[in-house]
Amino acid sequence: MSRVYNFSAGPSMLPIEVLKKAQEEMCEYGSSGMSVMEMSHRSKDYEEIIQGAEALVRELMGVPDNYKVLFLQGGGSSQFTMIPMNLGSKNKKCDIVVTGQWAKKAMQEAKRYITVNEVASSADKTFSYIPKLDKSTFSKDADYFYICMNNTIYGTKYNTLPDTGDIPLVADISSNVMSEVMDVSKFGLLFAGAQKNLGPAGVTLVIVREDLIGNEMDITPTMFNYKIHADNNSLYNTPPTYGIYIMKLVFEWIKSKGGVAELEKINREKAKILYDYLDNSKLFVGTVAKEDRSLMNVPFVTGSEELDAKFVAESKKAGLVNLKGHRTVGGMRASIYNAMPIEGVVKLVEFMKKFESENA
């Protein structure tokens, strides 16, 4: 087996311990005589898996009792519809900060159902920073206030959350979930597609405050209604059973590492190694405002498209793969999610130094 260091933005690396455990249990889970993939979602064995996964989310993220934890399908993108349909029925209005493509897509989708107040945007500088917010631009009667907390494509992250008072704060945490400690009680709703930091594509984790459930618009499809999934413990229909199982293994792995706070320490260390190098390099430059830098997605450029392409090609040969930047940004991007070990980042920086000395 020869595994590479995979810097993909998503689907992305999973811990090798998780893959090995899944391999061990692939053909028979416990003494069930079957694979998790072949199991009824109503079976006792599966019940233990999904309930165990939920308990671990609650434990690892410190989810308060008045929040539901849901495992849904449709990816992060379906939440762009579910959120306005379920949370926007009262005043039919929300506030959104546009910090990149994912927030923009969420805004476009919300506009199909409700009035959207674009509070601020960082489009003027290719989303390379998080805009400073002026509270006087917030709607007093918004049903919710929406942010994308970590911007996977551009590599920015909110280091201070907007103060929205009584208006529920809704955050897309697809690319930074469980990478740093978060106070769930500060949010009305959090969601994350699994394929960045939690597991395989196909599951979306939603954490939603109970009082925000059950107010859906009449047109809401049954499968897009949080109440249906909450009342049925995510077993209204067949959930993405195998994906939830892998997620549970990832949660167990996080716990074995000492939990989210310990992972955050490692993630800060990893990001520091890379940013410190970028700040001192004569060839590579980080593209993001320093105070808004993401711990998970690190975009950088050489300033020459030719050299960027050469770097991507040569790094791949060295076993450092998927470093090409997003198609809309160009350059490079290293995604260093929870499963990327420090050694991967050290190897990357060593390679960058070598490349710099040969090409600067």
Ligand X SMILES: *Cc1c(COP(=O)(O)O)cnc(C)c1O
Catalytic residues: 102, 172, 196
CB contact at 8 A, 106 and 112? no
Residue 238: both structure tokens together: 């067949």
Distance (Å, whole) CA 169 – CA 146: 6
Per CB under 6 A, which region of 74-82, 112-120, 274-282, 306-314 contacts ligand X? 74-82
CB of 104 to ligand X, least distance (A): 11
The residue among 130, 60, 134 whose CA lies nearest residue 98 is 130
Kindly tell me which residue out of 72, 85, 148, 207 binds ligand X, with binding defined by CB under 6 A. Answer: 148
Ramachandran angles phi, psi of 299, nearest 5°: -85, 145
Could you give the strand order of the β-sheet that contains 169-172, starting from the edge strand earlier in sequence? 67-72, 204-209, 189-193, 169-172, 144-148, 93-98, 115-121
Kindly tell me which residue out of 174, 234, 241, 294 binds ligand X, with binding defined by CB under 6 A. Answer: 174
By CB under 6 A, residue 8 contacts ligand X = no
By CB under 6 A, residue 202 contacts ligand X = no
By CB under 6 A, residue 162 contacts ligand X = no
- Of 89-118, binders to ligand X (CB under 6 A) are 102
Residue closer to ligand X, measured from CB, 10 or 344: 10
CB of 350 to ligand X, least distance (A): 28
Kindly tell me which residue out of 76, 168, 199, 325 binds ligand X, with binding defined by CB under 6 A. Answer: 76
By CB under 6 A, residue 175 contacts ligand X = yes
By CB under 6 A, residue 156 contacts ligand X = no
How many CB atoms are located within 10 Å of the residue 327 CB? 7
Residue closer to ligand X, measured from CB, 13 or 148: 148
By CB under 6 A, residue 172 contacts ligand X = yes
Residue closer to ligand X, measured from CB, 35 or 101: 101
Collapsing DSSP to helix, strand or coil, 175 comes out as coil
Kindly tell me which residue out of 11, 52, 62, 75 binds ligand X, with binding defined by CB under 6 A. Answer: 75
By CB under 6 A, residue 292 contacts ligand X = no
By CB under 6 A, residue 122 contacts ligand X = no
Number of residues that bind ligand X (CB under 6 A): 12
The residue among 88, 218, 84 whose CA lies nearest residue 143 is 88
Determine the residue with CB nearest ligand X: 75
Surface-to-core class of residue 198, CB atoms within 10 Å of its CB (0-12 exposed, 13-18 middle, 19+ buried): buried
User: Which residues in 268-289 are b (16+ Cβ under 10 Å) and which e?
Assistant: eebbebbbebbeebebbebbbe
**Among all chains, which residue has been given the structure tokens 């050290």?**
346
The site for ligand X (CB under 6 A) is made up of: 10, 75-77, 102, 148, 152, 172, 174-175, 193, 196
